[in-house]
A = this chain, B = another copy of it.
Amino acid sequence: MVEEIQNKLNEFVKSKGLRKTPQRDAIVACIFAQDEHFTADELWDRVRSANIKASRATIYRTLNLLLEAKLLHEIDLGEDTKTYDPNFHDSPSHNHLICIDCGKVLEFEDSHIELLNDCITRRMGFRPKQQSIRIEANCEKLRTSGSCPSLIEARLNGKRLPKKR
C-alpha cells in the first residue's frame, strides 16, 4: 500500500519534470503507514520519531505535492488547523462523523446519500464533482451508560477534547 502510493507520487512527480527524492519517499511512507488523520505538526512529530531527516519546509512541500496528485485530501473536522486524510485512496467517497463528546472521527460511506446528493445537484443545474458530509453527533453509549471507551481512551492519552460549541 505504501509502495503503491510512493509509485503513484513518483509517476506524478516525473510527469511534472520533477525528481524522486529519499525525503519524499520517507515522508510518504510515514503518512501511509497508518490510516489516521493528522495535522502537519503531528506528521512532523511522526517523522522525527521515525528518525527521518527532513525539515518542516519539506514536510509542507510534500503535503502540497500529495494534495496536487490527489493522493491525500484535506478534510474539515471543524478544527482550526488543516487536517489531512490518507484514506481517500481506499475509499474515494467517504464522509466523516465527528463525536462531540470525545473527538473521535468515524468514516462512513453510503450510496443512498451519494445518489440523493447527485440528484439534488443536478436539479440545481450542476454536475456533481465531489461531495463531503460532516456530521457532528453525540455518543449514544455515553448518554445511556454514562461512559464510552473512546472518551476514556482520549482522556488517558491526554488528547484535547472537542471545544464546546
Q: List A residues at the B interface (Cβ < 8 Å).
A: 70, 76, 97, 99-100, 106, 108, 110, 112-113, 116-117, 120-122, 124-141, 143, 165
Check A132/B134 contact, CB under 8 A, given A97-B126, A99-B126, A125-B141: yes
The residue on B at minimum CB distance from A68 is B165
Minimum-distance CB pairs A-B, first 9: A126-B137, A76-B76, A127-B138, A131-B135, A130-B136, A128-B137, A133-B133, A129-B136, A125-B140
Pick 20 A–B contacts, CB within 8 A, sort by A: A97-B121, A97-B124, A99-B126, A106-B124, A108-B124, A110-B120, A112-B116, A113-B113, A121-B135, A125-B140, A126-B135, A126-B139, A127-B137, A127-B143, A128-B136, A130-B135, A131-B134, A131-B135, A133-B133, A134-B134
The residue on B at minimum CB distance from A99 is B126
* Partner pick for A125 among B110, B134, B139, CB 8 A cutoff: B139
Taking A128-B136, A134-B134 as known contacts, 9 extra A-B pairs with beta carbons closer than 8 A to each other, sorted by chain A number, are: A76-B76, A112-B116, A117-B133, A121-B135, A125-B139, A125-B140, A126-B135, A127-B140, A129-B137
The residue on B at minimum CB distance from A132 is B134
Docked CA distance A120–B117 (Å): 15
